[in-house]
Chain A
Amino acid sequence: MAVGKEIKTKITSVKSTQKITRAMEMVAASKMRKTQERVLAARPYAKKMGQVIRHLAQANSEYKHPYLSERKNERVGVILISSDRGLCGGLNSNLFRKFVAQLKQWHEADTEIVMASIGSKGEGFLGRLGGNVVGSVTHLGETPALEDLIGIVKTMLDLYDEGKIDRFYIAHNDYVNTMTQKPQVVQVLPVYTEELEEQLTHHWDYIYEPDAKEVLDQLLTRYIESLVYQGVLENNACEQAARMVAMKSASDNAGELIDELQLVYNKARQASITQELSEIVAGAAAV
């Protein structure tokens, strides 16, 4: 039957789109679970490291590390952590909006800004944004290795050591739950030590091997790296969650669309049958 051929084709095409979005939804759901586990697996390291640094801050060290002391804030460095792929709802653009608002604030306070990006979307955005971009890493995949982040973190730490930036931030999405991802810009350097300095009850110090400076250097570098790494993992979990939700609503919408089209198709079919019948009846009456 020729009736509604276009509608039938349309239904088929929407159906195949729905198949794709549904598959993506399920893939994202299973990946989300894995990324969440990875976030949890990385937590003990950061926690332990926080403890050691707290111990060190309490210990009566003769060496004060530059990463632990505030200085005048004239230049900031910031790493923008984003996803590599799209189709994850407003995840990246929400983060970018927050990021630009923060940049504007710094700009108004006459602060120089140095930027770097992790993830293709962020790289593209910084490219269009302009400004001083010093580093970029992309395609970390679903199992990002800390190793891939060493370079970009070192770039920022070197700038800090040379006094070219006074503060170091990371911008990423924080995983609240499946429905909520919160974009945020957090300070990494100098390490926030306010809560560390409360309980100085007894004075003691570690034995350092080889010496305080080298151990602290290594420890703090690792600490910063692990903070950035955590940011990447969190953002990864957010990406999968956001994609799952976006694909779910896409599948639902496709379902609705198919229902509507089916209705239109049925109506057209019925109309054509009615017409045919009345033509036959009219023909018979004429004979």
Chain B
Amino acid sequence: MSMTIHVDIVSAEEEIYSGLAEMVFAPGILGELGIAPRHAPLVSQLKAGEVRVKTDKEELDFFISGGILEVQPHLVTVLSDTAIRAADLDEAKALEAKKRAEEALADKASDIDYAKAQAELAEAAAQLNAISRLRKLR
């Protein structure tokens, strides 16, 4: 039997592939990487492209939009991104979240009003209590 290496390909939203392979190819940021069993420990950023997993029977293709590759002598982990990432894109998203908060909270006070918050929560708690008491009475 030929030598094999364990491969896990996961994204934040799901597990994509897990199994044994004879060879793994990944689109490293500095160029295509070919990983055979007993590769030296390596961590690399990945760019968008194809991860190819060569098993003893077939060759599987997975498209990823970037991510991180970790290599241990007997283990390859591909942490795939689910979204297309770029510094300026991320920045735009951050600004969007900020804008949304500003719009939603246009008339907010600058200090935290603990008394008001607690009064509000006490009211909610009282309502819940009242409901459960009513339920018991019946």
* Interface residue ranges, A against B (CB under 8 Å): 38, 41-42, 44-46, 48-49, 51-52, 55-56, 59, 89-90, 93, 96-97, 100, 103-104, 107, 113, 116-117, 123, 125-138, 145-147, 150-152, 154-155, 158, 204-210, 214-215, 218-219, 222, 225-226, 229, 249, 253, 256
Enumerate 10 A-B pairs (CB-CB under 8 Å) in ascending A order.
A42-B13, A90-B124, A96-B117, A116-B97, A129-B113, A135-B97, A135-B98, A145-B13, A209-B30, A222-B81
> What is the CA–CA distance of A39 and B116 in the complex, to the nearest angstrom?
35
Consensus secondary structure, chain B interface: mixed
Contact with A along B5-24 (1 / 0, CB 8 A): 00010111111001000000
- Pairwise interchain contact B90-A151, C-beta atoms closer than 8 A: yes
In the assembled complex, how far is the CB of residue B108 from the closest CB belonging to chain A, in whole angstroms? 5
* CB-defined contacts of B138 to chain A, threshold 8 Å: 256
Q: Using known A-B contacts A154-B90, A204-B41, A214-B45, determine if residue A133 contacts B113 with beta carbons closer than 8 Å.
A: no
The count of residues in chain B whose C-beta lies closer than 8 Å to any C-beta of chain A is 57
**Does B79 interact with chain A (Cβ within 8 Å)?**
yes
Is B70 part of the contact surface with A, judged by Cβ < 8 Å?
Answer: yes
Indicate whether B1 reaches chain A with its CB closer than 8 angstroms: no
B27 to chain A, nearest CB (A): 12
B residues sitting closer than 8 Å to A (CB atoms) are 8, 10-15, 18, 28-30, 40-45, 67-68, 70, 72, 77, 79, 81-83, 85, 90-98, 100-101, 104-105, 108-114, 116-118, 120-121, 124-125, 128, 135, 138
B81 near A130: Cβ-Cβ < 8 Å: no
Q: Considering the chains assembled together, what is the distance between the CA atoms of A128 and B104 in angstroms?
A: 11
The interface residues of chain A lying within 8 Å CB-to-CB of B114 are 100, 103-104, 107
Q: A48-B10, A129-B117, A218-B68 are known contacts. Are A137 and B97 too (CB-CB below 8 A)? A: yes
Residue of B nearest to A37 (CB): B14
Contact (Cβ within 8 A) B83 A145: yes
- B90: chain A residues at CB < 8 Å are 150-151, 154
Whether A209 and B43, one on each chain, are in contact in the complex, defined by CB atoms closer than 8 angstroms, is yes
CB-based nearest B residue for A223: B79
Q: Could you list 16 further interchain pairs (A-B, Cβ under 8 angstroms) beyond the known A46-B12, A128-B117, A152-B94?
A: A45-B11, A48-B8, A59-B41, A93-B124, A96-B117, A131-B112, A133-B105, A145-B82, A151-B98, A208-B42, A208-B44, A210-B29, A210-B30, A215-B43, A222-B79, A253-B135
A228 to chain B, nearest CB (A): 10
Residues of A contacting B13 with CB < 8 Å?
38, 41-42, 45, 145-146
